[in-house]
Structure 1
């Protein structure tokens, strides 16, 4: 990162926006803040996205578009802050033990949850941390709850993400479309994120609809 910023300085760039994984799930954002003072020639903004994956990709897409429209740096950051504040994701995991390994759930809670067929729905909170949003009995009811959340947020750009369960993701998409809910994309999550969520996870991403 330091080398990249030096390269941008040498090429005559004056402003930089960097978007990284939520500070709630990675230490990279916090470390990036130390680089800002080291590059005084650049006006740098590394806002905390408080999210990851496709919803974060939507932020990158929007920033590139606003920049191409020659919007001012400050206005881009203002619109980006608005998008960050409205973006989140709801996560349904298949195996509670992965939450234990990630420190999201105690061993006792995982054991009890597995015995009772409890499927916790997680989400990104205002601090960008993954927390338990609701605890639902059985996966079928949990998916139904995700459908309801999608119906309640049809004014948003909705994406479906999954960890190596394309059939489950496609079935979820069909359930949403049957309710008249439009899905922008279906994406398989990368191995790094899948390691934390475990195989079989289903995610509903919400971000403000793209406006030019």
Structure 2
């Protein structure tokens, strides 16, 4: 049997993780305290409400870091000895997670472990994990799953916008961004996960409503009437995400939809108010 392992930067809902028997390794959230920097395991040691309180009020923004090789090795070791392990990580261009998982393979040499760079984050990479886990539950072997993953990756397109560029600019993960751009005349960035694993700004739109319309129009132009699985991801703007979901369902041929609040790792990158659309065409 194939068991799928991932890291928590992929924004998978807990319901999907449980139903698909996925093993999730928490990424780390680093918070500056009077005693120094303290690291918390995402979704395990830091409640999301407390994280957002810190994000909105702290003088120094929290940062994130990848799980250690030891964290991955611990996750690998508890799986049944006869399972094939497929570890799917967020983009190596955005995080050291892939390197940590690869290093963990050297710590667990008695197991058959394959590490796959999904070249995305949030549900851009999450759809690859979901498809792999679904195939595993249906009895597919590792070669069949590995043959499918490049197709899923190439057929997934993700766009998102942020309420402010403050967090993205501070992260340093998106080139050519200045925090001052979005403060001019309510300009909102449109960003895209590229298939090389990077995030690139592709447009600037004035106003929140227009930014979401731009994202949906781009998805329509890409997918037309093709059946798609979609994820509407958001950071602390769930009511708006539900309204956006209604528009998505009206204008795309949606066969599966997830409305997901992103956790600390992605929220620290994009900031409160971030909204995105990850679309996987079947």
Within the candidate set 181, 185, 210, 1:141 is matched to: 210
**Is residue 203 from structure 1 mapped to residue 268 from structure 2 by the alignment?**
no
Task: Give the Å deviation of 1:40.
Answer: 4.1
C-alpha separation between the residues in 1 aligned to 2:91 and 2:189? 21
**Is residue 21 from structure 1 mapped to residue 127 from structure 2 by the alignment?**
no
Within the candidate set 112, 115, 121, 1:43 is matched to: 112
Deviates more, 1:87-96 or 1:35-44: 35-44
Task: Give the Å deviation of 1:50.
Answer: 1.5
Within the candidate set 84, 90, 101, 2:170 is matched to: 101
Q: How big is each residue's C-alpha offset from its partner over 1:41-92, in whole Å with a ceiling of 9 and x where there is no partner?
A: 4332111012223343332332223223332321110112221232231110
**Is residue 177 from structure 1 mapped to residue 249 from structure 2 by the alignment?**
yes
Q: Is the 8 A contact 1:120 1:136 kept in 2?
A: yes
- The aligned residue for residue 128 of structure 2 is 59
C-alpha separation between the residues in 1 aligned to 2:208 and 2:161? 8
Task: Give the Å deviation of 1:101.
Answer: 0.6
User: Relative to structure 1, is the Cα distance of residues 112 and 69 closer, same or farther in structure 2, using a 3 angstrom cutoff?
Assistant: closer
Task: Give the Å deviation of 1:93.
Answer: 0.3
Q: What is the alpha-carbon root mean square deviation over aligned residues?
A: 2.3
Task: Give the Å deviation of 1:118.
Answer: 2.1
3-state secondary structure, aligned to 1:168: helix
In structure 2, runs of 5+ residues without a counterpart are 1-71
User: Relative to structure 1, is the Cα distance of residues 5 and 173 closer, same or farther in structure 2, using a 3 angstrom cutoff?
Assistant: closer
- The aligned residue for residue 123 of structure 1 is 192
C-alpha separation between the residues in 2 aligned to 1:180 and 1:45? 34
C-alpha separation between the residues in 2 aligned to 1:180 and 1:86? 15
Query: Which is richer in helix?
Result: 1
Q: Is the 8 A contact 1:123 1:133 kept in 2?
A: yes
- The aligned residue for residue 5 of structure 1 is 76
Poorly superposed stretches of 4+, deviation over 6 Å: none
Q: Is the 8 A contact 1:51 1:88 kept in 2?
A: no
3-state secondary structure, aligned to 2:116: coil
In structure 1, runs of 5+ residues without a counterpart are none
